[in-house]
């Protein structure tokens, strides 16, 4: 983690000073920097790219269970928990779509006020015509 910090701030501070402050040897940092990436890290990055690809191809609707299933069909052996962890690292969350709910019930026995405006919403004077819609307000009757 310290080496990564030094690498991210190379352009801002001198490497030797950062190594001194963080109590590291500069030779250790240069060895770490020249070391090739491990196979495990390369596989992790490859899986993260696949997760991102599947996520966006599903219109951001797939969560970790479905993405895990897709990865299994592609031949990867990975758990749902690991996929969830990688998605969290990537900042990916599935979009939940709600089922359409009808809020207007036109078949009722209540008083229906007559339509005085006849869709003519242009008023000649201020506060002459008032229009509202209260179908979204929740009541005890539904």
Same domain for 54 and 67? yes
Do both 30 and 45 map to the same domain? no
Domain annotation covers residue 65: yes
**Do 6 and 49 belong together in one domain?**
no
For residue range 65-86, list pLDDT tens digits in order: 999 999 999 999 999 999 999 9
pLDDT score at 67 = 95
Query: Do residues 44 and 60 share a domain?
Result: yes
Q: What is the pLDDT of residue 81?
A: 96
pTM exceeding the 0.75 threshold for the entire prediction: no
For the chain, how many structural domains are there in total? 2
Q: Are residues 9 and 51 in the same domain?
A: no
Residue-number span of the structural domain to which 9 is assigned: 2-34
Low-confidence ranges of the chain (pLDDT < 50): none
Instruction: Please tell me the distance from the alpha carbon of residue 19 to that of residue 25, in angstroms, as a whole number.
Output: 6
């Amino acid at each position: 983690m310290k080496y990564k910090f030094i690498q991210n701030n190379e352009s801002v501070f001198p490497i030797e000073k950062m190594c001194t402050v963080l109590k590291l040897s500069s030779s250790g940092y240069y060895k770490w920097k020249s070391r090739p990436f491990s196979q495990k890290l390369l596989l992790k990055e490859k899986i993260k790219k696949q997760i991102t690809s599947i996520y966006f191809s599903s219109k951001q609707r797939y969560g970790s269970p479905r993405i895990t299933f897709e990865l299994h069909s592609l031949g990867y052996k990975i758990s749902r928990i690991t996929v969830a962890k990688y998605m969290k690292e990537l900042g990916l969350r599935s979009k939940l779509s709600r089922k359409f709910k009808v809020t207007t019930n036109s078949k009722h026995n209540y008083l229906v006020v007559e339509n005085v405006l006849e869709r003519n919403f242009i008023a000649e004077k201020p506060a002459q015509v008032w229009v509202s819609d209260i179908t979204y307000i929740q009541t005890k009757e539904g």
